[in-house]
Structures are given as C-alpha cells and as structure tokens.
Amino acid sequence: MEDLSLHILDIAENAVRAGARLIEIDVRADDAARSLTVEVRDDGCGMDEATRQRALSPFGTSRTERDVGLGLPLLAQSARETGGECTVHSAPGRGTRVVATFNQAHIDCKPLGDLASSVRTLAVGNPQVDVILELSCGDQSRRLDTRDLRAVSEKPVSGNASDNARRPFKNTQQQSDPRFAEHHDGGNC
C-alpha cells in the first residue's frame, strides 16, 4: 500500500466485516522522538489466539473468497521496515486493537496520505458504524466523531437552505445583545 491511510482503511474495513459498530482511530505523532503511532480499536467480534496468529500471516485470512490476507501483514512489514512494530490484541467478544509504530526519520517510512478521504470512505460506505478519529501531535489534538456529525444532520430543519446552513453557527446572544443590534441588519447570522 502506498501510504498509511490506506492501511488504516483496510484495518477498519476488517473491523466492519467483524461486526464492529464503533471504530476508533488514533494517530499520534511525537516530533521529538520522530515517531508515529497508529492505533485502530473496534468493538467487533474479536479473535481467538489461533485466528489472531493467522491474521498476522500473509497466508491466512478469515475471508472465504480468497486464501490469503495481506492487510495486517503489510502493515506490520511497513512498521518493521522503519524500525517500528505492529501488535494485535484481541479476544472473542472483546473486539480488536491494532497498534503500529513507525520511525518517521527512516527513509522507508511511508507518508500518512489522505487520511480524511480514507475516513470519509469508511464513514459513508458504512453508515451503521460510528467512527472516531483522533489526531495528536505534541500538545495539539483534533477529534472527529461521526456521532456528532449525525446529531447535527438529524436536527429538524425548516425555512430556506441558507437559514439551515447558518443554523449550527447561530449565536443566541446576538438576539439580546444591544451592541450587536447596532451593527446587524436583523438577519439570522
């Protein structure tokens, strides 16, 4: 795979096939240590030890349409090529946790890629699954939770489209603040 976002999408799609209703993706960069950690957790059916071992082998898969599965083995290889590692923690009925670490200073470290498109593909293609994406670097972090997006989109709407587009940004203080009234034409923004 060309970049890490495609590995993340592949692992998340495996979680969907395992019945996950919640997939959490954490991407943590430590610039001082020049490391990148990718963690994907799900609440799917989980794996017993024999299945977990097969999942890490390029010659084993849980799919019935083919005899090999390369997702986890390729992710593990990509991590090892940089001096990092990949671990898989799982138990039946408890979901799965995949953690891969990468040395960003290594010449073989793949770029993160278009993570936004990968997460969008996952969320749009699997609307029954909630996805949480957390990105952090040092003391800065960003979080996207599809449950929050769904809550905003499920609120009843009325009026014209421009009113609905502005609704989430409407400041309720505007209506009662006389300082605002002096500089405002009385619209809904």
Q: What pLDDT score does 144 carry?
A: 95
Q: Are 139 and 30 in contact (CB under 8 A)?
A: no
Which CATH fold would you assign to the domain 4-150? Heat Shock Protein 90 (3.30.565)
When pLDDT is averaged across residues 47-76 and rounded to a whole number, the result is: 74
Three-state SS at 7: helix
Burial class (CB in 10 A: 0-12, 13-18, 19+), 84: buried
Q: Domain limits of the chain?
A: 4-150
When pLDDT is averaged across residues 71-97 and rounded to a whole number, the result is: 95
> Which tens digit of pLDDT belongs to each residue from 92-129?
999 999 999 999 999 999 999 999 999 999 999 999 99
> Which tens digit of pLDDT belongs to each residue from 121-153?
999 999 999 999 999 998 999 999 999 988 887
